[in-house]
């Protein structure tokens, strides 16, 4: 009797082991099939091999239909992107000459001996033309970034070279406002697109000078294990805590900064550029106590 029970137990154990092995084999076969399907999908030559009523056959058919829909969607996205590219190109081309003419003729008028309301009107035309050119240029850059038309080309770059260019570009503007613009940096390598990173930092420095009436704008750097941090610190009007996130929004302008020139796109463009490089921007500011924009660039 004991032998019979033992034999039955052994048989049951063997059957259980067999069932486990078979289930694992089935699972492995399904995984192998799914992996093969994905590999074929990546190569864009996926086809349905088995036509029957099995669940896996239905899965293959549904997956094929999904790929067909995805391919159509991708084609539509590419088509829309091409249209956007053409539109941006047209806007850039068609607006360049009129704006250049507005600036040229207003400068010619300003060189003449005119006064009173006429001079004020011409100065307003010249100022608004500059503003329009700045707005269109930045909108085009932003659209190209957001639509993948323009891609960044990160490479190992010494941040000191970029900051020196920014400093030289804005030293005169700071001096005209009576501000002390300083730069304190050493050689620090980070993986960035030099041209676009320069633009991002320049926008933030320009913003700092614009909203600082007296005192200083300081540019400095700090090296971390994974990032190089660029700080742009000013003694300006500061930003309320509830506006910290809003200042990076497209076209956002605080009510207290309405008297200053600007269109509210520079900080948004800077964030888009830095984010595209794998970095980020942090703001530390309080109302009336100045601001510090910290740009973290990947090493």
What distance in Å separates the CA atoms of residue 231 and residue 201, rounded to the nearest whole number?
10
Contacts of residues 76-82 at CB distance under 8 Å and 24 or more positions apart, as own/partner, are 81/147, 81/148, 81/149
pLDDT band at 158 (very low <50, low <70, confident <90, very high): very high
Residue 236 has pLDDT above 70, yes or no: yes
Residue 43 has pLDDT above 70, yes or no: no
Residue 296 has pLDDT above 90, yes or no: yes
pLDDT band at 182 (very low <50, low <70, confident <90, very high): very high
- What is the model's pLDDT at position 151? 72
Average pLDDT of the chain, as a whole number: 78
- What is the model's pLDDT at position 297? 94
pLDDT band at 25 (very low <50, low <70, confident <90, very high): confident
Helix (H) or strand (E) holding 227: strand 227-234
- What is the model's pLDDT at position 140? 73
Assign residue 256 the CATH number of its domain.
Answer: 3.30.565.10
Mean pLDDT of 241-269: 67
Domain containing 181: what range?
A: 155-298
Residue 168 has pLDDT above 90, yes or no: yes
- What is the model's pLDDT at position 103? 83
- What is the model's pLDDT at position 84? 64
Residue 10: inside a domain: no
Domain count, the chain: 1
What distance in Å separates the CA atoms of residue 230 and residue 61, rounded to the nearest whole number?
53
Please enumerate in sequence order all residues whose Cβ is within 8 A of that of 215, keeping only pairs 6 or more positions apart, or say none: 179, 180, 234, 235, 236, 290
pTM flag (> 0.85): no
Residue 258: inside a domain: yes
Residue 47 has pLDDT above 70, yes or no: no
């Amino acid at each position: 009797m004991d032998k019979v029970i033992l034999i039955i137990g052994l048989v049951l154990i063997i059957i259980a082991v067999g069932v486990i092995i078979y289930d694992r084999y089935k699972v492995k076969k399904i995984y192998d099939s799914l992996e093969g399907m994905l590999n074929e999908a990546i190569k864009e030559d996926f086809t349905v091999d088995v036509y029957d009523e099995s669940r896996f056959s239905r899965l293959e058919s549904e997956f094929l239909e999904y790929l067909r829909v995805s391919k159509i969607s991708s084609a539509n996205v590419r088509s829309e992107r091409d249209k956007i590219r053409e539109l941006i190109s047209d806007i850039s081309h068609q607006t360049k000459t009129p704006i250049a003419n507005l600036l040229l003729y207003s400068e010619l008028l300003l060189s003449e001996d005119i006064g009173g309301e006429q001079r004020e009107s011409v100065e307003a035309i010249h100022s608004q033309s500059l503003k329009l050119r700045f707005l269109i240029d930045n909108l085009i850059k932003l659209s190209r970034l957001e639509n993948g038309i323009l891609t960044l080309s990160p490479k190992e770059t010494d941040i000191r070279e970029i900051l020196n260019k920014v400093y030289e570009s804005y030293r005169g503007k700071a001096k005209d406002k009576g501000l002390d613009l300083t730069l304190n940096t050493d050689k620090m390598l980070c993986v960035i697109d030099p041209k676009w990173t320069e633009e991002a930092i320049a926008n933030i420095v320009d913003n700092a000078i614009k909203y600082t009436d007296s005192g200083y704008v300081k540019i400095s750097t700090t090296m971390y294990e994974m990032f190089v941090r660029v700080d742009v610190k000013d003694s300006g009007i500061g930003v309320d805590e509830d506006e910290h996130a809003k200042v990076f929004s497209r076209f956002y302008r605080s009510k207290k900064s309405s008297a200053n020139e600007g269109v509210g796109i520079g900080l948004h463009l800077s964030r888009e550029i830095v984010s595209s490089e794998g970095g980020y921007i942090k703001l530390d500011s309080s109302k009336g106590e100045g601001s510090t924009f910290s740009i973290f660039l990947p090493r």
